[in-house]
Amino acid sequence: MSVLLFSVLSLDGCVSDSSGETKWGINYHKLGVVSFFENADCEISVPLSIQEIKDSHTSFIIEATYRNIDYVVELMKAGVVNEIVLLILPYIAGSGKQLLGRCRISSYWELMESLPLESGILITRYRRMHFDGENAV
């Protein structure tokens, strides 16, 4: 089981403004991030139970949106998200639903990739770090 969380965020960590609007209109093909979706076995478009995900041998991807953010936070809290890909936009929403600030959990993540684009968008990919006692595994 592996779950990749994909999200487009403003600089202040919001998946949209307070109205639920996403004003950034990102072309995933043009940015080359569609491969994350193509490499997953299944996209989570309707909520699965945490146990269904844990019992599966499937690689999942879910995109955090204004509509599913509460479910995404539950996935984070349950520890089933193994990887996070963030597209960080040079925009401050000022209000709205924040993604990671809502998790209220502590976890360590290793930066796997960071790609700044001329447009000011930053694409980052993180992998969850697990610890065996005091050492990362």
**Euclidean distance between CA atoms 112 and 37, whole angstroms:** 17
Q: Identify residue 22 by its one-letter amino acid code.
A: T
Sequence letter at residue 131:
F
Task: Kindly report the CATH number that applies to the domain delimited by 2-136.
Answer: 3.40.430.10
**Dist CA 42 CA 95 (whole Å):** 32
What is the Cα–Cα distance from 56 to 35, expressed in whole angstroms? Answer: 22
Q: What is the dihedral of CA 69, 14, 25, 31, to 10 degrees?
A: -90
pLDDT digits (tens, 9 = 90+) for 105-128: 788 899 999 999 999 999 999 999
Place of tokens 């779950």: 3
Residue 23: its pLDDT value, please?
67
Query: Cα torsion for 79, 43, 57, 106, to the nearest 10°?
Result: -10
Tell me: the pLDDT tens digits for 85-101? 999 999 888 888 888 77
**What six digits make up the tokens of 86?**
């963030």
Domain edges within the chain: 2-136
